[in-house]
A = this chain, B = another copy of it.
């Protein structure tokens, strides 16, 4: 990993800070849409600090600079940061959060600047209050991004990839119907309109897809919907005639950069709330615009600030998380093709490493997997960087092998592969952990306990109203009994030919997961694990879809839910200790393997290697 000398960049930035009378400048990782993955032009935190990890925040004072990141990146950050920087290891006891560090530095009436387009309104508010209460200082939303200024001509241009239509045979719903649903919500909330800022929400709402951001089929855009109008803010050069026809007269196309100025006009002309009686002491109340709690501070300010907006969990995000029958069918279909690709790959990998005893590194293997996948129907690219990891690397939860500088795969060690793809009809994300030699007793035990967790969550039956927080411990209970655990969530929402991680649902102990109920149509991952630093790692990940089920008693007036698994790849027989499985778990495993065989064996009529492998791995236990 290269280390950048940031002295010049910091000196330039500090000059700009002095010009603008700022004592401190905050550089978050996020883009203006709070995207998980960002385009190169938005990598401001990386540019100013030299640290290239996906998460973190840089804070620069006139004589200090700090970079805060979490446990995944302590190692990488300490390698990449030069001497100008202090690393704030977030989550360690006695290490301040970046907000606390900023507040400490700001004591005594300092001015702290941040680009209000790359920080959410709730985050800005919290920081602003802390600065005010604890340091007597203030947060300034500085419209021009100072890092962009330092970056100058070297800054990559904003992507200008073409936008495509996601046809109804895959989306299952006209965008006009989706707009109707949004408008019902506006009506219910007596709102003037809604501004949509998350890229996947805009893409989903209008049945469009793009390729501006790696792995995420989205495009730079905003949307504004009122009871009578719908606008999409996007560089019109990206729109093909097909897209323009698709949007027709229902949607007005506006330049991407004109959102903020439009917001001010929209706010000023917001309709009067119908129940308000204007009197001298009570001024006329205008209807408010809805924005997501993840919308940028700039967006809230543009609409007239806190008093003029209702910050809510996005109803578009909520609707997107409930897949319709077409999307669910697409998920089933693409997981069969994807499962076939993974099986073909694993059979090839075993033959290459064991029978042919060839040397293969982690990236070469991942490349082969991508080559196999890319032949499958409707393939549109990977859904994230493939985690192809051997031995101790499997214990690094977010491991990414570096091309030309990674390990060769040890056929005598655990191999963990976490990968996924984008297809026109859905998005996949699958993890399998394999062993090509003789696993240790502990590896078998850990794998079997993780598998028991996968099964426990998969078999869960629960009433509507249950949250993912409440189900998380089902996947952990068998590990817990032995004093084992994993330091990540159990499941995340998955898009339909959209982002592989999507909210608001998930299975784990994030506070949001205790607030959002699971619903029929939710698609989630089921991925417990176990990791022994420096030794080995286990993760098994299936995709599961919540659906209504009938129970013996159906107590109460709410529907009862269960999960349907759609991932179709065998578990690793060599790593399963049948003695640790209950009879219910064995039945589940045999049923699962029978289903995998039935659904994917037909792909290998002319491929004896994969057929043999699949037969062996799906045999009844």
Contact = CB atoms under 8 A, between A and B. Distances in A.
B277 A483 contact: no
Interface stretch (A290-298, A325-333, A399-407, A546-554): A546-554
A552 B136 CA distance: 52
> What's the number of copies of this chain in the assembled complex?
2
Given A473-B466, A514-B514, A107 B277 contact: yes
A134 B191 CA distance: 11
A8 interface: no
Contacts of A201: none
B469 A108 contact: no
Contact of A136 (B282, B476, B482, B550): B282
B480 A285 contact: no
A313 B133 CA distance: 19
Interface residues of A, number: 54
Contacts of A307: 133
A463 B480 contact: yes
Contacts of A279: 108-109
A481 B282 CA distance: 55
Contact of A477 (B137, B277, B474): B474
A281 interface: yes
Contacts of A554: 483
Contacts of A461: 480-481, 483
Contacts of A477: 460, 474
A483 to B, nearest CB: 3
A285 B104 CA distance: 14
Interface in A393-439: none
A243 to B, nearest CB: 39
Given A480-B461, A483-B554, A553-B483, A470 B509 contact: yes
Contacts of A135: 276, 282, 285
A553 to B, nearest CB: 4
A507 to B, nearest CB: 11
Interface string A505-520: 0000101001100000
Contacts of A32: none
Interface string A83-107: 0000000000000000000001001
A85 B183 CA distance: 36
A463 B485 contact: yes
A190 to B, nearest CB: 9
Given A470-B470, A474-B473, A509-B467, A275 B480 contact: no
A196 interface: no
16 contacts: A107-B275, A109-B281, A134-B285, A135-B285, A136-B276, A136-B283, A137-B282, A460-B480, A462-B473, A463-B480, A470-B470, A480-B560, A482-B551, A483-B550, A509-B514, A511-B511
Q: Top 3 nearest A-B pairs by Cβ distance?
A: A483-B551, A109-B282, A108-B277
